[in-house]
Amino acid sequence: MNSIASEQKSTTNGNGHIGKMTLKDINSPKDLRQCSIEELNGIAQEIRELLITTCSANGGHIGANLGVVELTMAIHYVFNTPKDKVIFDTSHQSYTHKIVTGRRDKFPTLCKYPGGLSRFLVRGETEYDLFSAGHASTGLSASMGFAEAAKHKKADYQTVCVVGDGALTGGMAYEALNNMGYNQTDITIVLNDNKMGISPNVGAMYEYLKRLSEVTTDDRGRRAIGTIFEKLGFKYYGPIDGHNFDELMHHLEEIKHIKGPKILHVLTDKGRGVDYMQNDKATWHEHAAFDIPSGIAKAKLDKTKPSFPSIESIATSALIKLAEKDKTIVGLTAAMAAGTGMVKFGEKFPDRFYDVGIAEEHAITFSAGLAAEGMKPVASIYSPFLQRAFDQIMHDVASMHLPVRMLLPKAAITGDGWTQGGILDLSYLRIIPNIVVAAPMNENELHHMVNMAVQYDKGPIAVRFPKGQSSGMTIDSEFNEIPIGKAELLRDGNDVTLLAIGWTVQDAMKAAAELEKKGISAAVINARFAKPLDEEMILRFAKKTGKIITIEENTLVGGFGSAILECLEHHHLKNVDVKRLGALDGYIPFDKPENIKKSFGMAMEDI
């Protein structure tokens, strides 16, 4: 590969460019292929500067992307993209890919509303973007589909899957590897081994890869020993330095001519180039806007805005308080210790905390086993990620009335991509028998609901809530009992009933105050539960006012509002006008949450 690079002249390049090529000259991978190794190294540094500048202003997945600059450039250099297919798993590590495939000038719009670039890959955004993804461990299965399609169509393109950043902790990845090896699928897998997911990688596979990285290779980069990948039918190469263009291009050029399934094991450094990111990789996986010299979040530097703890940390604090007195409480998360606020629980109770990796299905059935033996498992998993474990909740938990407690942060319209908002859980959870589904109206009620969930022992229970900074409200020092299935009347009224669940109760209260100014008497009910419903209170106010507005930060399809309609139908209650407010059927766009809510007609003014 060195001979290929040396043929590129920095005075006059094959595309007619005169002089040394820099990032401003790169409008497509074709331009990259005209560069010398020296020029590529310079462009890689420019890309890092663009990544840091943009993410410091807008936020984003900075850590992983700083680690894959050279790797991404080398793939586009060696493979004939877009004819050859490159798929990223997970696609949050695709920023360099976006920059070198014609979106350099638009890249500063990353995470900006409206119309900015998504933090993830979106199929069809350009001809280089083949598969949308916001979750991990999907890329290998999708890539096998592309590769096998080439065989059936007798097409001559190659398929490359960049997998890593914790994706190999997910079970779906092994289903794909098993199938690829058996079918001898013609595919190149680039294993981006940065020893990290969102938090440090955990599990036997991580330890195995660590051992592999310490074993000497032969002069062609192949192992002196057998590997699990070779036993599965893959040709294995590496590990190699993922920041060295000579090594990357030499090996990529070699393996692209080899038929069948092959894996190139590449070692990269998450957060490369910024000391404070390399030293705290979990924090810098994804970060809000920050000050570049210090690494301090800009929100913390703004003294005009109060700094309050996160909502999820309030839930964790309540759990810690309970676990101090109850040694049967066990905390679990699926590679989201930092994001769910469970890091503190793990620090306090290291022997009672499990990070299972990106394996939501395993987390839930593992919890079922713990519950079956009298432990009190509390699994904290993002709402939009829990849907991966729907079958496990139904088959392994609810069918046996096992008391698995689930805390679901990010259950809200987030606006940061269709895979990142939790607007389906009220719908998909409430159809499962024997389950309790609850949502507090604020942080203080969340504090009490954590206690409620831990004490509930008749079956599974889920408590959903948004993620982000809390309001700073006072949290009660002691726990109050919240009876299962009991709503709370916050405001009496005669003309209309505002029946809200979760954080939307706050909007309902504001709307009721505005309605009072217009001479309309609105009752406000904090429903608390989507299952079981407080049917007595619902029916009483349905009869009293004859008008109900349901409000939920969930899809209207099968959600809380649908549950209210089912309740009225079941009790043969007619002549009640019902208006449901919530997310419309569809995937949530990338926009400010307040804009999305307005478009759905569910903002406070719409109520």
Residues annotated catalytic, as ranges: 270, 360, 388
The answer to whether the CB of 270 falls within 8 A of the CB of 63 is: yes
Gap between the Cα atoms of 189 and 264, Å rounded: 6
Element (H, E) at 159: strand 159-164
The answer to whether the CB of 93 falls within 8 A of the CB of 392 is: no
Gap between the Cα atoms of 118 and 417, Å rounded: 7
Residue 27 DSSP class? S
Gap between the Cα atoms of 80 and 78, Å rounded: 7
Q: Which two tokens stand for residue 123?
A: 């199929």
Please give the sequence-ordered ranges of beta strands (E in DSSP) within 352-471, or none if there are none. 353-355, 376-380, 405-408, 436-438, 461-464
- List, in sequence order, the alpha helices (H) in 116-272: 139-153, 171-183, 204-212, 228-231, 245-255
Per the DSSP assignment, residues forming a β-bridge with 490 are: none
Sort 603 into a burial class: Cβ within 10 Å, 0-12 / 13-18 / 19+: middle
- What letter represents residue 291's amino acid? D
Among residues 173, 150, 32, the alpha carbon closest in space to that of 96 is found at 32
The answer to whether the CB of 242 falls within 8 A of the CB of 68 is: yes
**Number of residues written out for the chain:** 607
Angle at Cα 28 formed by Cα 27 and Cα 31, nearest 5°?
85
Q: Which two tokens stand for residue 508?
A: 């309902």
Sort 529 into a burial class: Cβ within 10 Å, 0-12 / 13-18 / 19+: buried
Among residues 391, 397, 407, 424, the alpha carbon closest in space to that of 332 is found at 407
